[in-house]
Structure 1
Amino acid sequence: MAKLFEPYTIRNLTLKNRIAMAPMCMYSSHNEDGHVEDWHRVHYGSRAVGQSGLIILEATAVQPQGRISAQDLGIWDDSHIEGLTELTRLIKQHGAAAGIQLAHAGRKSTVDGDIQAPSAVAFSDQYKTPVAMSTDAIQETVKAFALAANRAAQAGFDLLELHGAHGYLINEFLSPLSNHRTDEYGGSSENRYRFLREIIDAVRATWDGPLFVRISAEDYTDGGMTPELYIEMAKWMKEQGVDLVDVSSGAVVPAKISPFPGYQVPYSETIRTGADIATGAVGLITSGLQAEEILRNNRADLILIGRELLRDAYWPYQAAKDLHTEIEAPKQYARGWTF
């Protein structure tokens, strides 16, 4: 059997294959209250029918001021649990595992009012200048991540991912390009990691399932983070009980990126080898053959598919065909996948 379609066990969870739907924002909570709507039910349920082994919900805000947009999904209030529970039911009834990405947008939030960041430096001229977080605000946010993890457990999620990438709040603390603090949360790599360390510890106190952290391994700017610099932090994550590092890149500062198929896979390979931790590869992975090469050569342990699953909810079937592997289809669709 192709390695892409082998089961994969992470802590107490076994995925039926190594295909995960990467978290992608839908901006579809149109009442601006963070609640699940019909779009989410159809979108996530259909990808589970499509035979992805893991569905990771979009960046879901742990605080209202931490939303990227006013239309983001939320998990900052107990009222969100009911809708999220419905999504986990829809996902899991088709054999996929249900994950959720817990997030805070930091200085890239576009909601009304004050926005927060480690330092009072705007992302660009198109964004507001954030308020530098006090230590009290930092602790309040750490607690918000822990409360969100508890709500995720109540909603039936199998897996959590902390969003430490793409220039959002955790990423802003990790990178020296956006963290200009001179207190215990800034300066050295240990200090810049402190915010994430406290979040992981707080989440682990209430969550014993699989835990991922998504990072931006490359800042594409002089003086920024690189995969080699992230090896040290990935080792700390492993010591704290993080099971897998989901390796993306960019967006902590405006920078020119020239993407090509698999352009982020070397970053995954560097961190996997250097930190001896499981990694997920993402970034213009479009075919089963490409995904299989990544896994066969131990460049990653999990394949996260983003835009390709927006284009084709049933991409795993095509990947199986590419790899001459038979996978079981829902009985309702079996006639369509008999060759």
Structure 2
Amino acid sequence: MSYLFSPLELGPLRLSNRILVAPMCQYSSVNGLACDWHQQHWTNLALSGAGLLITEAAAVEPRGRISWGDLGLYDDATEAAFAQALAPVRRWSPMPVGVQLAHAGRKASTEKPWENGGGVIAPDAEHGWQVVAPSALAYIEGQPVPEALDEAGIAGIVRAFVDSAQRAVRLGLELIELHAAHGYLLHQFLSPLSNRRKDGYGGSLENRMRLVLEVFDAVKSAVPASMALGIRISATDWVEGGWDLEQSIALARELDMRGCHYIHVSSAGLHPAQKIAVGPGYQLPFAEAIKREVAMPVVAVGLITEPQQAETVLTDGQADAVALARAMLFDPRWPWHAAAALGAQVAAPPQYMRSAPHGQSALFKQAIGSAS
């Protein structure tokens, strides 16, 4: 039997297989509102046969959006729009759905990636706003300088994560992933390259981890035990003197002791000087190292594109699940094809059961079972 297609428990949430659809920003919102693009995008991915869909990062406050086109979950309007976009997913797919809650910090107030290269928008320009960070250090020299959060501002960030988490509960979502990766606000507090504070949130590793742990504890206390709660981290900044694997292991241990249900291990995004050795599965060593130190499931991500590659990641003990992003955009039926390649079976809607290629109906029927 394929290990990739065996069940997995993320705390209270049981997945039918170990393929996760990773969160992918679509930059298609207006004022933080999900729209018909999200409706068709989420529904398409929810029919893929994966074990879990994590929707794109949803900002916990308006200034926490990466771009002016980013999704939010911070007021009644964004919650209602999210519910409307989610409705067809719930109607047509049994797949559990989670949301990634995020705050972009100093990497906020940008254009969409395909417009002017995703460049920074000045606070006084159209679609721009004043960004915040742990310290008054711009992501790139010459860009607008962020406002350093004071302790009252930090407390407001914690409240914003809690408020958004409670909205996720009302939406009936099954999982929350806290975004502490890719150079966004929680990661900015973790890394000594972006956090130069002299108070209780800066300096030592313990202090730099403080906000992440406060957000985790507050959200965990605010949601029911039936809600799975995990986190995504960048295991390294890929910059000397920055956040690294050793510190990531220390954070993972703390989260494990607090009852975190899983850790999703990515890397980079904090500093423009990053030097990444990109290749198939290039982040797997980080996931494997963290898995040796914690009891909670570890999710691997990053250039995992082939079924046998994903299977080997799990059978070799490098991770407990794999997350796919670009590979799922390129091939939204990736789990179907993986099931066929690995001799496993995955559920598909009965409406799609006629899609077997000519001459391959036997293989198709073996790999694809009806979800009805």
> Under a length normalisation based on structure 2, what TM-score does the superposition of the two structures give?
0.88
Deviates more, 1:198-207 or 1:96-105: 198-207
1:173 counterpart (158, 179, 189) = 189
* Contact 1:67–1:105 (CA under 8 A) maintained in structure 2: yes
1:5 is paired with a residue whose SS is: coil
Residue number in structure 2 paired with 1:250: 268
Match of 2:161 among 127, 145, 158: 145
SS of residue in 2 equivalent to 1:4: coil
Q: Which has the larger radius of gyration?
A: 2
- The answer as to whether partners of 2:10 and 2:297 remain within 8 angstroms in 1 is no
Q: Which letter maps to 1:201?
A: D
Note if 1:191 corresponds to 2:186.
no
Letter in 2 for 1:174: L
- Provide the residue aligned with 1:286 in structure 2: 305
Displaced runs of 4 or more, over 6 A: none
Shift of 1:85: 2.2
Tell me how far apart the structure 1 counterparts of residues 87 and 320 of structure 2 sit (CA, whole Å): 26
**Structure-1 residue corresponding to 2:367:** none
**Equivalent residue of 2:4, what SS?**
helix
Which string of whole-angstrom CA distances, capped at 9 and with x for unpartnered residues, describes residues 277-296 of structure 1? 32100000101101100111
| Match runs of 1:204-215 below 5 Å | 204-207=220-223, 208=225, 209-215=227-233
Q: What is residue 54 of structure 1 aligned with on the other side?
A: 52
Separation in 2 of the partners of 1:177 and 1:313? 37
Deviates more, 1:113-122 or 1:203-212: 203-212
Letter in 2 for 1:178: S
Q: Which deviations, in whole Å up to 9, do the C-alpha atoms of 1:143-170 show, x marking residues without a partner?
A: 0000000000001110000000000000
Instruction: Report the counterpart of residue 108 of structure 1 in structure 2.
Output: 107
Secondary structure of 2:232 counterpart? strand
Are 2:297 and 1:299 aligned? no
For 1:98, the equivalent position in structure 2 comes to 97
For the aligned residue pairs, the C-alpha RMSD in angstroms reads 1.3
1:34 match: 32
Question: SS of the counterpart of 1:198?
Answer: helix
1:129 aligns with 2:145: yes
| Distance of 1:47 and 1:179 partners within structure 2 | 37
- Normalised by the length of structure 1, the TM-score is 0.96
C-alpha distance in 2, partners of 1:180/1:220?
19
The CA distance in 2 between the partners of 1:87 and 1:302, in whole Å, is 27
Structure 1 gaps of 5+ residues are none
Kept after mapping to 2: 8 A contact 1:88/1:157? no
Superposition deviation, residue 91 in structure 1: 3.0
How many Å apart are 1:298 and its aligned residue? 1.4
What do the CA deviations read for 1:30-76 (whole angstroms, capped 9, x no partner)?
x3x11111110111100111111111011110010111001111111
Letter in 1 for 2:180: G
SS at match of 2:355: helix
**Secondary structure of the corresponding residue to residue 286 of structure 2:** helix
Aligned to 1:201: 217
Seen in structure 2, the aligned counterparts of structure 1 residues 133 and 205 have a Cα distance that, compared at 3 Å, is same
1:6-21 maps to which residues of 2 (within 5 A)? 6-21=6-21
Corresponding residue number in structure 2 for 1:82: 80
Please identify, of 170-179 and 224-233, the stretch whose mean Cα deviation from structure 2 is larger.
224-233
Identical amino acids, percent of aligned pairs: 42
Q: What residue in structure 2 maps to residue 317 of structure 1?
A: 336
Q: 1:53–1:95: 8 Å Cα contact kept in structure 2?
A: no
Q: Give, in whole Å, the separation in 2 of the partners of 1:87 and 1:113.
A: 27
CA-CA distance at 1:126 after TM superposition:
6.1
What's the secondary structure of 1:335's corresponding residue?
A: coil
Number of aligned residues: 337
1:155 aligns with 2:152: no
Counterpart Cα distance in 2 of 1:38 and 1:126: 37
